[in-house]
């Protein structure tokens, strides 16, 4: 991008030089000023485009990292839920209905988190909704930790 920009400015300077060699001093000065202003506008436009492209690339990379992190947390929750269910089966005690309902609810919340991340992939709305997603994901993780602590009592 910078090479193209430098080449463009060089071409503009050569053009100014050619035009100024065939004109009077006043015409040369006016033409040079106009060309310089045009080159400055083109340079600003190119810089704006470069900044925009960089921002889009950064946003896409941030999203990719966020999604991978969220998917890893969701998978860890699935493993934790499966572990809790396995402990319930092997404990020898009949599972408490309230405890079973809590586990089912947490499992459903985890599935909802998967659906939310997939929905965001399709719409790509704002980062505020991702902040809410992180908050909800943290609460789900804490609830999973708490359910195992409460079960040990």
Residue 127 CA to chain centroid, in angstroms? 8
H/E run at residue 8:
helix 2-21
Q: Which helix (H) or strand (E) holds 134?
A: helix 127-152
Per-residue pLDDT tens listing for the chain (153 residues): 667 767 776 676 667 666 655 556 677 677 777 877 887 777 777 777 766 766 666 677 888 888 899 899 999 999 998 988 888 887 767 767 888 888 899 999 999 999 988 887 766 666 667 778 888 888 888 888 888 775 544
- Model pTM above 0.95: no
pLDDT at position 152:
46
- Residue 138 has a pLDDT of 87
pLDDT of residue 42: 76
Rg (CA), the chain: 31
pLDDT of residue 104: 92
- For residue 153, the model assigns a pLDDT of 41
């Amino acid at each position: 991008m910078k090479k193209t920009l430098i080449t463009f400015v060089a071409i503009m300077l050569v053009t100014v030089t050619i035009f100024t060699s065939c004109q009077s001093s006043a015409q040369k000065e006016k033409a040079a000023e106009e060309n310089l202003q045009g080159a400055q506008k083109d340079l600003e436009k190119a810089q704006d485009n470069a900044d925009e492209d960089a921002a889009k690339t950064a946003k896409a990379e941030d999203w990719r990292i966020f999604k991978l992190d969220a998917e890893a947390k969701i998978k860890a929750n699935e493993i934790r839920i499966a572990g809790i269910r396995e402990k319930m089966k092997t404990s020898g005690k009949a599972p408490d209905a309230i405890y079973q309902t809590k586990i089912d609810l947490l499992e459903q919340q985890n599935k909802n988190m998967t659906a939310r991340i997939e929905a965001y992939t399709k719409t790509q709305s704002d980062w505020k909704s991702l902040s809410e997603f992180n908050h909800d994901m943290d609460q789900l993780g804490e609830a999973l930790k708490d359910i195992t602590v409460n079960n040990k009592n």
